[in-house]
Structures are given as C-alpha cells and as structure tokens.
Structure 1
Amino acid sequence: MPLSERQLAAFADKHAGRIPLDTSPRHLAGPGDARHVTHSLAAAGWSAVSDPLSAEIVLASPDLRHRLQFDPQSATSAWWRLRAEPTDTEPGWYAEFGELVPAEVLAGFTDALIDPPPQQPDPWQPVTSAGWHRSSDGTAHSPDSMCHIELRPQSEFSNRPSWHIETREPDHGQFPGPRIWHAYFDEHTPAHLVGSFLTALADRSPLQRGMYDRTGHYSAVQEPSPLRPEQVVDTHTARIESLRARARSARRQQTKPAPTPAKAHTAQPAARR
C-alpha cells in the first residue's frame, strides 16, 4: 500500500487551515494526528490488511513479521497494539499504547522499527538528560510528576524486565490519580525501540496542536506557534520522504547478492619450448 499523493493532500488539507499551537509537555499534548504513524509505515512499504470499511486499521510489514493494529473502538484501554512474530534468531515481542499517547511519540517508536538508530544507547539516557528524576528502584518521573516510567523486574513468567509507562492525574493524597494514558513493552521488545520511544517522550520541544484539539490534560501549556500551518505540513512531508528513501535503501541492502569470493590465483608452470 504505497502512500499516495491523495493521502498526503488530505493531511495537508486538514492542517493547512488550522492555527498551530505549541503544546507541552509532550506527555500531556493529546493524541494528535494518527497519520504521523500510519503514513510513515505506508511509505516504508507496510500494507493495510484490515477491512477498508472498518474503523480498525491493521498494517503489516513487508516481511509480515510485524503487525500494527489501531482500534479506536477497543473495549480495553489499548488503542494501538504492535506484535512481532518470532524468527529463528529473535524472540517475538508485544507493545501496546493507550488512546491519548501522542502520535508523534509513538512515531518515534515505529520510525525506529523502520530505520534503527545508528547507536543503541541506554534507554534511560534521554530521560535523565531531559531532567526527569530517576530513582535507584528502576523508576523515573517527569518534572511535573505526572508521567511515570517503571522497569519492572523479572516475574515468575520471565527472567527479563518489562517497561511500563503511565501518565496520570496528580496524586490525591496517598492514592495515584486516574490514568490518562499508558504504554507497555514486554520483556523482549528491543531496547533501541524502547529508547526511541523514551527519546521522543522526553524531548523538551513542543508538539503542534490545532486550536480546539483534544489535549491529554487541562494543565498542558499551549502558546501560539512560530510555525505556519504550511511549515507543519512540510515537516511531515519531509519526514515521510526521508523514511521512504531510507526504507528503500535498507531493502536494497537486504536483496543485494553477496559478493562472489575471488578465486585463488594458482601459478601456472611455464610452457616448454
């Protein structure tokens, strides 16, 4: 399902007439436009395998190993689910995300699935660099204490820890406030993908939301953005084109035949006269 010009034009039409507002912190910015995720996957060659008349969207990777499900009618709190099937050399894994996870933050995760970062740093590094408070018990929280990250230790079912991220209303005494959104990465989710999600989450730069867009919480700060609507659209288009080019390059590398080893040169005896 290649991404069409008509689909990009529909994105541009929606955003061209809206006044962008810089919205921060990111964990309270609200869901935004899901096409930040779906457009990049389609540009990288993922195909829609769901009923086109259904509200549910299911995208499958070109090798059919990965499947992303977006279900806005889900009976659970997880609207996004991503599954990876096991291979001969790698285990399968699962991740899920709640309704109000910002699409741009989720796109940090899916973009890394398409184009892994050149380095695979400690997933905690972008969080601590952004000024989040990290405790020695495997947890961290945002400066406003509303977003919590927990690396839960191994359980009776696995000897590896899993990641749990939640954004909640402010605490009410000794009880945690109601949950706004969550993200979960099971114990086999590759560390570089978790790190890319946390990098996008802890990024201090604001996200652009249109006037009257839903935010995650009333305490989100919104200010007039210096970006024009056309610049918001151009940024999205440039990102899609960059991912498309990198995905094509990666496919070419995978299909390139291995070089034929040079034959060893054997000295031939001189011909007799």
Structure 2
Amino acid sequence: MRLVPVSERQLAAFAHRHVTQIPFDTSPRHLAGPGDARHVTHGLAAAGWTCTSDSLSPEIVLRSPDHRYSMQFDPQSATSAWWRLRAESTANERDWYAEFGELVPAEILGRLTDALIAPAPTEHIAPFQILESAGWVRESATTVRSPDAMCHVHRPTDEGVWRSSWRVETCQPGYGGTSTGTRIWHAYVDESIPEHLVSAFAAALADPVPLQRAMYDRTAHYSAHQSRSPLTPEDVVAAHSARLDAIRAQARAAHRQHRATQPAVTPAKARGVRPAVRR
C-alpha cells in the first residue's frame, strides 16, 4: 500500500507559508481563530482520503477509502458552517452528521478527524469528564462552560428537535457576565456519532497548550492572549510533517491488518477457473 496523497509541492506550500511567519502562542484555544485548514485536509489525505471536488474550486471535498465518510470544506458557504463531516450508514452503524463554523480552530477539528481515522479505542473518558478535569465549569446536568464563560458545550437530554446531539458554542461575553452574546463559532454533532470522537474534540478544546498563530492571523476575539512562542517556524513545519508521517504509518498498519484477516483466495477462485475434471 503506497500512501503519498500529500504531494511534495503541497508540503512545500505549507512550509513556505509557515517558515516566513513568526509563531505566537495563542490562548485560550476556543478564541485562537481558524488557523490553517491544512491541519485537517492534509491529515485526511495522509490517511488515504481522496479529493473528489473540482481542483479549481475553493470548495474541497475529501472521501475516505471505503467511501463511508466525507469531509466538505466550503469557505464560500452561505451558512455559518464551513466544515461538514458525514458518515453513511452501515449494517451495524447509523449514519451521522457534524458541522463546524468558520472560526473553529483547525487543530481542534483535526484532533477529531485524527480519532476518526485511527482504530477506535476500547475505552475512553466521557467528554464532560475531560472538560471538568481541565477546569471547565459544570453549569447544569447538560452544560459545561470554559473558565472565561465564552465557550459552552451542551448536550440536551430531552427528545425534542435537538434530541441528544452535542452542541458547542463560543460567544461574545453577555451582559453581566451571566448570559451569552453574539455567537462567534459553533459545532453541531448529532447523537449517532461515536462518543470517543466527541471526547477527542473536547480534549483538544480544553488542552491548556496554546495554539500557534502568526502575528497577523485572524483570531476569534480580541481577548485572545498572544505572546511570542518559544517554537520556531521550522518547529511548526516539522511538527506538521511528523504528524503526517505518523498518520501514513498508521494507515499502512491498518491496511496490513485488514489484509491479514481476509480469507485466502486460491488461484482457481481468483481467476474464476473451474478445476480440471479427472479422467
């Protein structure tokens, strides 16, 4: 299995952008801004996902090797959702859908897609438990908020229109500090998604390690804190390349394991030839 879907030219373009920019540590993560979408698209491509959209269009559509999953990135979307992730149903699993707004940090969404293309864990920590362990505040049985009260993770338990889907909203501070103001970005994940994917998103969201942004990169809000990063531009590029190498190695290992579990095919069956009749 040969996985080289991210070309040298594409990697060089990523490197060219980042080696010419001084990285700044930016926190909290939910206010860091969108960053580089290639944190998501390059990761999926390294796992063997193929681009099925018009190469000259700003819209990107990637599809998984088994054709079950698709990721759409549309920076010209007429709605507030720029990212759309879909899973088709199988004999054992329901279909599901997730969408993410323009200003969701690509590194956080990339953690979810990394979990999607990796083998599912046998155990995982629940999303709310991850957030509370990181210092997020439990507002109710269905809602946890960030320490600055600008990001809320909500999962309703009723059987209404939202059912038990996950919703994440980062909003402007509300009046008096008790209510939320204008929405900055959102994520919606329906209830059929495997929970370990939501856990991966929550872990990336609450991670205290800052994200790197260039001096003039767009952040989600003016209150985001930025300081000169100890990382060099070369460190940022090297980390991206190392992540893609790890994803490729994981994909190759999964492919070898899948082939090893397939029943052996005899040459006669492989050619569709009937055995000779003994005279």
| TM-score normalised by length of structure 1 | 0.91
Contact 1:116 1:192 in 2 (8 A): no
Match of 1:151 among 122, 136, 155: 155
Query: For residue 72 of structure 1, what is the amino acid of its counterpart?
Result: P
Equivalenced residue count is 259
**4+ runs deviating over 3 angstroms:** 116-119, 257-260
Gaps of 5+ in 2: 265-279
Distance between the aligned counterparts of 1:68 and 1:154, measured in 2? 29
1:33 maps to amino acid: D
Distance 1:32 1:145, change over 3 A: same
Cα deviation code 1:115-174 (max 9, x no counterpart): 14633221222201110001342100000000001011232468x611000000000247
Deviations 1:42-64 (A, max 9, x none): 00000000111111000000000
Look up the match of 1:265.
none
* Aligned residue runs from structure 1 range 236-255, under 5 A: 236-255=240-259
Q: CA deviation at 1:176?
A: 2.6
Residues 1:203 and 2:207 aligned together: yes
Q: For residue 135 of structure 1, what is the aligned residue in structure 2? A: 139
Map of 1:61 onto structure 2: 64
The reply on whether 1:86 has 2:73 as its aligned counterpart is no
Alpha-carbon distance in structure 1 between the residues aligned to 2:218 and 2:140? 35
User: Partners of 2:158 and 2:88 in 1: how far apart?
Assistant: 22
Letter matched to residue 20 of structure 1:
P
Moved more, 196-205 or 168-177: 168-177
State the partner residue of 2:38.
35
Distance 2:28 2:107 in 1: 13
Provide the rounded CA distance (Å) in 1 between the counterparts of 2:29 and 2:117: 23
Q: Give the match for residue 26 of structure 1.
A: 29
Q: 1:120 aligns with which of 116, 121, 124?
A: 124
Same amino acid, percent of matched pairs: 62
Question: Per-residue deviation at 1:6?
Answer: 1.2
Distance of 1:175 and 1:24 partners within structure 2: 22
Shift of 1:257: 3.4
C-alpha distance in 2 between matches for 1:235 and 1:201 = 19
Q: Structure 2 vs 1, CA of residues 213 and 157 (structure 1 numbering), >3 Å: closer, same or farther?
A: closer
- In the alignment, what sits opposite 2:5? 2
2: CA distance, partners of 1:51 / 1:177 = 38
Alpha-carbon distance between aligned partners in 2 of 1:44 and 1:154, rounded to the nearest angstrom: 37
CA separation of 1:117/1:64 partners in 2, compared to 1, >3 Å: closer, same or farther?
closer
**Structure 1: segments with no counterpart, 5+ residues:** 261-273
- Structure 1 match to 2:189: 185
Once residues 87 and 15 of structure 1 are traced to their aligned partners in structure 2, the CA distance between those partners, rounded to angstroms, is 40
Query: 2-side partners of 1:195 and 1:233: how far apart?
Result: 27
Aligned to 2:276: none
Residues 139 and 116 of structure 1: is their aligned pair in 2 closer, same or farther, counting only changes over 3 Å?
Answer: farther
What is the DSSP-based 3-state SS (H/G/I as helix, E as strand, rest coil) of the residue aligned with 1:235? helix
* 172 and 136 in structure 1: CA distance in 2 versus 1, 3 angstrom threshold: closer
Higher alpha-carbon Rg:
1
